[in-house]
Amino acid sequence: MSYAPESVVGAWTIEPRQSTVFAKLAEVWRYRHLLGYFATRTLQQLYKRSSFGWLWMMVRVTAPIGLQGLIFGAALGMESSDGTPYALFMLCGQTTWILFDRSLLFITRSMERNKKLIAKVYFPRLILPIAAVSPALMFLTILSIALAGVDVYFWHRRGIWFIPLEWRLLLAPVAIVISLAFAIGIGFWTSVLQARHRDIRFGLRYTIGFAMYATTVLYPISQINSPIVRRFVELNPMECSIELFRYATVGTKLEISDAVFTYQLVAIVLVALSGIWFFNREESASVDKM
């Protein structure tokens, strides 16, 4: 039995004090194989026992959006602010929103689902919440394909590419990273708390459902008449990601001021940092309490 050089482990110490966040992140990098493993496992568990797994996944994401498109677009005649077809406008908003919403829900349950493992085997716990974004990334892929399909449809109908292949399209991944960072940041808090109190998940479901209406997923911010409501919506950090994604794809100009945009970005960064801090502080205590 020869020892492979890449797996040689040097000297180590175990001490009561938690190692720093940076040391933890370095460790996540060393255990990166595990990231892919947990990511696939979360995906597999999603539709493991069903015969039409992939199909269900498509339906589950696209059906509610199609329905919303019909009700708000066709029946109620909602419009976007700049002449973009409502279906495209809304789909852009939903793509970003669903990425955030699903990530957060899956991250929240990540520690609880792997309780048994956490109590028996050591690995950097930070990996669990991060790997739990995999289903959301799958939904993002499905919605991106849907977005392309709808774009082709409108090109066929009206002869215009509403999502042109321009440099600004590169901002779309930036918007995605922002909303993922926000979801993971909140998720660091909720996953630890969920492992101790089951109430978190129930409360979160309703909060997220409510938050969607406080974000301009279904309507443009310019349609809000009341300045108080507008202020309220601007307080929501997710707004910047949605606006940025719309600008990158259908080219809707940012409808929030630079100051508001900056505030939202800073808020997301603060949430993410506080999340890592809290997670790192609590993870070992969590095991004791489980």
Partner 1 sequence: MSDPRLVIENLSKRYWIRRAGSTEGGGTRLDRLKSFFSIPLASDLLHAKELWALKDVSLSVEPGRVLGVVGSNGAGKTTLLKILARVIAPTGGRVRGSGRVVSLLELGAGFDDESSARENIYMNAALNGIPRDVVMRRFDQIIEFAELQEFVDTPVQFYSSGMYLRLAFSVAINMEPSVLLADEILAVGDAVFQERCLRKVHELAREQGLTVLFVSHDMEAVSRICDRVIWLKDGQLHRDGQADEVVTEYQNAAWQLLAASANGSELRGSSHAGKYGEILDVKLVSADGREIGSPPRNEDVYVRTRFRTHRSKTRARCTVELNSKGVLVLRSTQPFLYDVGADQAYEAHVKIPANLLADTGYTVNVGVTLVKGEDEEHALVKDKALSFMVYGDAEVNALGSSLQRKGVVDPQLDWTIVVEPNVLRA
Segment lying near partner 1 (by CB under 8 A), choices 82-90, 137-145, 259-267, 281-289: 281-289
Are 109 and 194 spatial neighbours (Cβ–Cβ below 8 Å)?
yes
Task: Output the smallest distance, CB 198 to partner 1, in A.
Answer: 12
Told to check if 12 binds partner 1 by CB under 8 A, we report: yes
What single DSSP character describes residue 78? -
Distances in Å between the Cα of 99 and the Cα atoms of 50, 157, 179, 254 are: 23, 29, 7, 20
Task: Output the smallest distance, CB 34 to partner 1, in A.
Answer: 4
Among 22, 197, 210, 259, binds partner 1 (CB under 8 A): 197
Told to check if 51 binds partner 1 by CB under 8 A, we report: no
Told to check if 23 binds partner 1 by CB under 8 A, we report: no
Nearer to partner 1, 12 or 167 (CB): 12
Distance CA 16, CA 28 (A): 20
Task: Output the smallest distance, CB 13 to partner 1, in A.
Answer: 5
Task: Output the smallest distance, CB 39 to partner 1, in A.
Answer: 12
- Kindly identify the residues of this chain, within the stretch 238-277, that bind partner 1 according to CB under 8 A: none
Distance CA 242, CA 256 (A): 11
- Kindly identify the residues of this chain, within the stretch 135-194, that bind partner 1 according to CB under 8 A: 193
Among 22, 33, 253, 258, binds partner 1 (CB under 8 A): 33
Over the Cα atoms of the chain, what is R_g? 21
The total of other beta-carbon atoms located within 10 Å of residue 51's CB is 7
Distances in Å between the Cα of 224 and the Cα atoms of 36, 215, 257 are: 43, 11, 15
Residue 209: name the closest of 73, 98, 132, 108 by CA: 98
Nearer to partner 1, 16 or 227 (CB): 16
Segment lying near partner 1 (by CB under 8 A), choices 13-21, 134-142, 148-156, 230-238: 13-21
Segment lying near partner 1 (by CB under 8 A), choices 31-39, 77-85, 154-162, 263-271: 31-39
Task: Output the smallest distance, CB 129 to partner 1, in A.
Answer: 17
Segment lying near partner 1 (by CB under 8 A), choices 64-72, 87-95, 140-148, 278-286: 278-286
Told to check if 7 binds partner 1 by CB under 8 A, we report: yes
Tell me which amino acid residue 29 is: W
Among 55, 59, 119, 273, binds partner 1 (CB under 8 A): 119
Among 25, 26, 30, 53, binds partner 1 (CB under 8 A): 30
Distances in Å between the Cα of 272 and the Cα atoms of 171, 181, 276, 280 are: 21, 7, 6, 12
The total of other beta-carbon atoms located within 10 Å of residue 267's CB is 17
Using the structure block, give the residue that is written with the tokens 């309220």: 232
Phi, psi of 176 (to 5 degrees): -65, -45
Told to check if 13 binds partner 1 by CB under 8 A, we report: yes
Positive or negative torsion for Cα 230, 233, 239, 240:
positive
Told to check if 6 binds partner 1 by CB under 8 A, we report: yes
Structure tokens at 70: 């019909």
H helix runs in 132-222, sequence order = 134-158, 171-196, 199-213
Question: Contact residues for partner 1 (CB under 8 A)?
Answer: 1, 3-4, 6-7, 9-16, 18, 30-31, 33-34, 37, 41, 48, 116-123, 193, 197, 282, 284-285, 287-288
